[in-house]
Amino acid sequence: MFNWGFIGSGTICKNVSKQLLKNKKHKISCVWSRTYEHANAFAKSISAKTYKTINELLNDKTLDAIYIGTPHSSHFKYAKMALERGIPVLLEKAFTLSYENTLKLLEIAKKNNTYICEAMWTWFSPVALTVKEWFSANKIGKPLTMRSNFCVPTFFRKKERIFNKLYGGGSLLDLGIYPIAYAYNLFGYPDDIKASAKMKNGVDLDCKITLTYNSGLICELRSSINRLGSCSTTIIGENGKIKVPAPMHCSRKAFLKGKENIKYHDSYPFGLYENEFNLVEEEIKQEKKESSYVPFSSTLNVMKIIEEIKKQIGLSYDEANSL
């Protein structure tokens, strides 16, 4: 049994727990969040202990790893506390609010010789990994364009934090990071970045991003908490195309049309969270300090792209960095 401590008790933690606990290899031993009542209600629903302070949770010697599913603004603080105690960390995306803080956190992990990994299920997804294999095997020839949207306003309408700058609100960190990471994982760091956004109360409601490569490849990406989009990804090459249907970030299907026509559907029993946690558990048990699925360079480079986008659209989280 692999024992997890959960920091956070909101929607993401509840969704993760529903899949994770279907696999009897995993146990959520304890929970802490800023509001004890919320943490306690969540902990009771999964038969876990509730701690009143974060230090109590981090001092629990039975833990194998910590999962952090709190708002972006607190990621750095909580992850730093765990790493300094030598506790492996699976940290929700966006890793931190800035490239600078991401770099600091990874340096802390290296200094303490402790595993930390970005908890974006797409990095571990069998579909995303298959798409990467298709691209690497030149199944569609030279890539020409990629179009990827993640625009789901109705989902976030009741989530106040997504509109709050102090909590790292806006579409970019919650939604835009997915198509950005998808493009980076396939094609690497772009040669040019252009971005524009519709802003309100200091956060981006709608963000348009163009990544251009010297090869001629153009990636047109969009995220929005203000308007509905296709939420799919299409990659067109000289000899075919790849389609990942909505929702692109967690799709369990992909379609290749070209010299070969392939329909891929993953057969993972319980879902992508369970897949992610299984793979992370394996890496921690192997005493890895850096994930093979999400190397530090990938997390850093995606945050570097985001940093440039933030600069171009006038998005700053300086106030939030002290939370």
Task: Output the domain CATH number for residue 249.
Answer: 3.30.360.10
Q: Are 63 and 133 in a shared domain? A: no
Q: Is residue 304 part of a domain?
A: no
Strand-pair partners of 68: 7, 91
Which has the minimum average pLDDT: 32-46, 151-165, 166-180, 232-246? 151-165
Residue 284: its pLDDT value, please? 98
Q: Is residue 298 part of a domain?
A: no
Question: Within 195-323, where are the H helices?
Answer: 272-285, 296-313
Q: Is residue 300 part of a domain?
A: no
Q: Which two tokens stand for residue 133?
A: 């294999």
- Tell me which residue range forms the domain holding 216: 126-265
Q: Is residue 322 part of a domain?
A: no
CA dihedral (173, 179, 185, 189) positive or negative: negative
Residue 53's Cβ-side half-sphere holds a number of Cα atoms within 13 Å equal to 4
The number of distinct structural domains making up the chain is 2
Indicate the average pLDDT of the chain: 94
Give the dihedral of Cα atoms 142, 120, 84, 111; nearest 10 deg: -10
**CB proximity list for 238: less than 8 A, separation 6 or greater:** 140, 141, 142, 144
Report the alpha-carbon distance of residue 267 to residue 62 in Å, rounded.
32
Q: Is residue 89 part of a domain?
A: yes
pTM for this predicted structure: 0.95
Q: Are 32 and 101 in a shared domain? A: yes
Q: Are 170 and 107 in a shared domain? A: no
Question: Within 46-150, where are the H helices?
Answer: 54-58, 75-83, 99-111, 121-124, 126-136
Reported as a single tens digit per residue, the pLDDT across 59-111 is 999 999 999 999 999 999 999 999 999 999 999 999 999 999 999 999 999 99
Q: Are 156 and 231 in a shared domain? A: yes
Q: Is residue 319 part of a domain?
A: no
Q: Are 214 and 157 in a shared domain? A: yes
Residue 271: its pLDDT value, please? 83
Q: Is residue 279 part of a domain?
A: yes
